[in-house]
């Protein structure tokens, strides 16, 4: 299997689109995906995005989003080789400005009003409740591989969250429940001369829309429930369902959203560590991030 068949994918895409070989310019590249700007001999440009499993269904999500009226870049062609997806997309150019909280609220309202698609993975209350148990399963497999040793604190925290998960997951299907972007950040909202477009649908799913709102301000800084509360209120003001402010799982909406978003991220980081990236060299970094998020989850979900 080719470790990174981006050149072969691009050749297939150019054949599908009837284009000649372009000049390639890297925009952002990492081990599991890459984004390039392509310039063809006639001067036209497109964005070339490629990614490996589990990010290999974004073309389907983009087609669904466009069909449902969500503003997304136009998909010109897509192809797959050995578990890798390649796509040619509209080149939206340089944003005229960065997206702000009002932009995020408006975009989230439109997204969450969209009828959910059956093809998207489901994260309902039962699935949410099992996240800490799934993370414990990942930890078990890591230890079987003689990795993630001296992580008894992580096991203890996950077990503590798992015992409270049934109660704290209550209200998962309260509105807004439906289409969730899952990578909803200002960098995923392109503000151009002719409007805005949502990018990066590789992990879209059906689930609690509050997880999108909780992700908007990122995870590098400590979670700020007051700041998220203001953002949810702005979301409601812009037309989002007032139920977004409803308590769930015995918690204020903002604490519930931030706590479960961090738990969702923890399970994903641990699955990456054992399954998708599976590189012991990255263990120290992942363990550090998981510990930080677990501290937040314990506090936010009050377990």
- Domain CATH for 29: 3.30.200.20
Note the pLDDT tens digit of each residue in 5-45. Answer: 999 999 999 999 999 999 999 999 888 899 999 999 999 99
Cβ-contact 183, 153 below 8 angstroms: no
In a domain, 96, yes or no: no
**Which of 47, 69, 90 lies at the terminal end of a domain, its last residue?**
90
Q: For the residues 93-98, what does the mean pLDDT come to?
A: 95
Asked if 67 and 163 sit in the same domain, the reply is no
Q: For the residues 167-193, what does the mean pLDDT come to?
A: 96
pTM for the whole thing? Answer: 0.94
Structurally, how many domains does the chain consist of? 2
Asked if 176 and 275 sit in the same domain, the reply is yes
What's the DSSP call for residue 24?
E
116 vs 75, more confident: 75
In a domain, 95, yes or no: no
CB neighbours of 203 closer than 8 A, spacing ≥ 6?
54, 55, 182, 183
Cβ-contact 21, 38 below 8 angstroms: no
In a domain, 1, yes or no: no
Q: For the residues 250-261, what does the mean pLDDT come to?
A: 98
Quote the pLDDT of residue 116: 80
Asked if 252 and 121 sit in the same domain, the reply is yes
Asked if 206 and 171 sit in the same domain, the reply is yes
Asked if 60 and 190 sit in the same domain, the reply is no
The CATH number that applies at residue 117 is 3.90.1200.10
CA-closest candidate to residue 189, choices 61, 78, 77, 70 = 70
In a domain, 148, yes or no: yes
In a domain, 189, yes or no: yes
Asked if 80 and 111 sit in the same domain, the reply is no
Asked if 227 and 157 sit in the same domain, the reply is yes
Asked if 135 and 249 sit in the same domain, the reply is yes
CA-closest candidate to residue 189, choices 180, 175, 202, 201 = 201
The whole domain housing 205 covers: 101-300
Q: For the residues 245-258, what does the mean pLDDT come to?
A: 98
- pLDDT higher than 90, residue 145: yes
The whole-angstrom separation of Cα 70 and Cα 112 is 10
Quote the pLDDT of residue 172: 97
CA-closest candidate to residue 109, choices 198, 225, 218, 6 = 198
Asked if 250 and 116 sit in the same domain, the reply is yes
Asked if 117 and 84 sit in the same domain, the reply is no
Radius of gyration of the chain (CA): 20
The whole-angstrom separation of Cα 128 and Cα 261 is 10
Asked if 61 and 172 sit in the same domain, the reply is no
- pLDDT higher than 60, residue 113: yes
Q: List residues bridging with 25 in a β-sheet.
A: 37
**Which of 46, 71, 90 lies at the terminal end of a domain, its last residue?**
90
- pLDDT higher than 90, residue 118: no
- pLDDT higher than 60, residue 1: no
């Amino acid at each position: 299997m080719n470790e990174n068949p981006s050149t072969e994918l691009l050749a297939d895409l150019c054949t599908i689109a009837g284009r000649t070989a372009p000049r390639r310019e890297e925009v952002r590249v990492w081990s599991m995906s890459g984004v390039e700007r392509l310039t063809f001999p006639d001067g036209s440009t497109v964005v070339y995005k490629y990614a490996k499993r589990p990010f290999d269904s974004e073309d389907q999500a983009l087609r669904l989003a466009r069909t449902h009226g969500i503003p997304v870049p136009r998909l010109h062609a897509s192809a797959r080789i050995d578990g890798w997806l390649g796509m040619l997309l509209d080149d939206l150019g340089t944003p005229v400005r960065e997206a702000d909280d009002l932009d995020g609220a408006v975009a989230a309202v439109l997204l969450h009003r969209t009828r959910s698609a059956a093809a998207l993975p489901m994260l309902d209350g039962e699935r949410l409740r099992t996240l800490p148990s799934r993370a414990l399963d990942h930890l078990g497999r890591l230890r079987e591989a003689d990795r993630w040793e001296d992580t008894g604190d992580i096991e203890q925290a996950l077990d503590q969250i798992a015992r409270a998960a049934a109660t704290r997951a209550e209200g998962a299907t309260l509105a807004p429940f439906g289409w969730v972007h899952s990578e909803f950040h200002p960098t995923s909202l392109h503000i151009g001369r002719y409007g805005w477009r949502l990018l990066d649908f590789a992990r879209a799913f059906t689930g609690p829309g509050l997880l999108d709102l909780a992700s908007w301000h990122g995870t590098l800084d400590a979670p700020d429930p007051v700041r998220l509360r203001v953002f949810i209120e702005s979301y409601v003001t812009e037309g989002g369902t007032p139920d977004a402010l409803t308590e769930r799982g015995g918690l204020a909406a903002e604490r519930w959203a931030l706590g479960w978003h961090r738990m969702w991220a923890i399970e994903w980081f641990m699955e990456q560590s054992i399954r998708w990236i599976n590189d012991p060299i990255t263990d120290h970094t992942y363990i550090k991030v998981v510990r930080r998020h677990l501290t937040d989850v314990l506090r936010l979900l009050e377990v």
